Chain A
Amino acid sequence: MHELSVTESILEIACRHAEQAQAARVTDVHLVIGRLSSIIDDSVQFYWDLISKETLCEDARLHFKRTPAILTCQDCHQEFELTTELTPCPNCGSARIRVLSGDEFNIESIEIERKS
């Protein structure tokens, strides 16, 4: 999908925080991606290697943490995890389902080296 613009956002956020912290360079960037966010890790990595050159984030490692999609049934209030594809509630069969989590797409933290 739109991994280039997404990667640009990641770079902007990481560099902004690194500058605020007066970092010499960023070594690691930790991302949290919900299962429902259609983001391809390899593709983000590909663009990252290209666009992070000559920035504070050059050579920084990207870490992808995937979080599960948790759904809840609005009829019996059963909570369950999305496995392969969308199904009715495994407990009561209701189709009235709400997504509780799985949309996350955050930068959780960065690791930096400080200027000596």
Chain B
Amino acid sequence: MSDKRIKIVEKIFDANDRLAQQNRQRFDDSNTYAINLMASPGAGKTTFILATINAMLDSNVRIGVIEGDTAPVTIDSDKIAAAGMPAIQVNTGGQCHMDALMVESALEQLSLEELDLVIVENVGNLICPASFDLGTHSKIVIASVPEGDDKPYKYPNIYRGLDVLIINKIDLLPYLDFDMDYFRQGVEMLNPGLETFALSSKTGEGLESWLTWLKNKLPQ
């Protein structure tokens, strides 16, 4: 019997990354822009999506939403459906993040060719979702000001691969000790020049700049 060492050097996330690439191809083929929306629980992901949908109702943009939750609840997808847009609820079975496979199976239930935009609302978590490419065109994180200004320092990985940062609930700034300069310095160290929109999904303040960015990304 001979012992042997076999050199491999394979990325452990390769299987997911390959599947993510296939998802991206499907989005491209149907001319649909796709967003992976990440945030901690309670940052206002669903409210932000609803505010975006409502603001775009007049523009005939067709939006589909894939809702990831760790428990078999349809609270979020019901809200999206009530706003008149198709929503697919994905139960991750307790898993702390969505992966490319979950998005692939959700896509089976969406008529992609009828959609201009798909938003994947990831599981509320600032750690695990950062490691898994879903095959979307952009990754967006919502940081809400009640979470505190130290989050970029505590959860650096999620800020690094981002394309857009939303600072949500700015209507609460007068009531909180949130140091915007400190927060932004942390973000700048992780992701220099990151596109950032400070807004309130609730009052609508600041929403317009975000919508302008988004509309420029959508198929014309």
Are the CB atoms of B189 and A24 closer together than 8 Å? no
A107 to B15, CA, bound (A): 13
Which listed residue, B1, B4, B153, touches A21 by the CB 8 Å rule? B4
Chain B nearest CB from A108 CB (Å) reads 6
B157 within 8 Å of A by Cβ?
yes
A18 to B6, CA, bound (A): 8
A95 to B16, CA, bound (A): 32
A:12-36 near B, CB below 8 Å: 12-14, 17-18, 21, 23-24, 27, 31, 36
Are the CB atoms of B12 and A107 closer together than 8 Å? yes
Which residues of chain B are near A17, meaning CB under 8 Å?
A: 6, 8, 10
Which residues of chain B are near A105, meaning CB under 8 Å?
A: 11-13
Task: Please judge, given known A-B contacts A5-B95, A86-B190, whether A99 and B8 are in contact too, CB under 8 Å.
Answer: no
A:92-112 near B, CB below 8 Å: 95-99, 105-112
> What band does the interface of chain A fall in when counting residues whose beta carbon is under 8 Å from B?
35 or more
A9 within 8 Å of B by Cβ?
yes
B:118-151 near A, CB below 8 Å: 127-128, 131-132
Task: Please judge, given known A-B contacts A1-B127, A112-B3, whether A107 and B157 are in contact too, CB under 8 Å.
Answer: no
Task: Please judge, given known A-B contacts A36-B156, A86-B190, whether A109 and B6 are in contact too, CB under 8 Å.
Answer: yes
Which residues of chain B are near A1, meaning CB under 8 Å?
A: 96-97, 127-128, 131
Which listed residue, B4, B132, B157, B185, touches A114 by the CB 8 Å rule? B4
Which residues of chain A are near B192, meaning CB under 8 Å?
A: 74, 95-98
Task: Please judge, given known A-B contacts A1-B96, A38-B127, whether A110 and B10 are in contact too, CB under 8 Å.
Answer: no
A10 within 8 Å of B by Cβ?
yes
Are the CB atoms of A106 and B9 closer together than 8 Å? yes
Are the CB atoms of A108 and B3 closer together than 8 Å? no
The residue of chain B having its C-beta at the shortest distance from the C-beta of A18 within the complex is: B6
Which residues of chain B are near A115, meaning CB under 8 Å?
A: 1
Q: Please give me the 7 A-B residue pairs with the lowest Cβ-Cβ distance, nearest first.
A: A1-B128, A116-B1, A96-B192, A95-B188, A95-B189, A111-B5, A2-B128
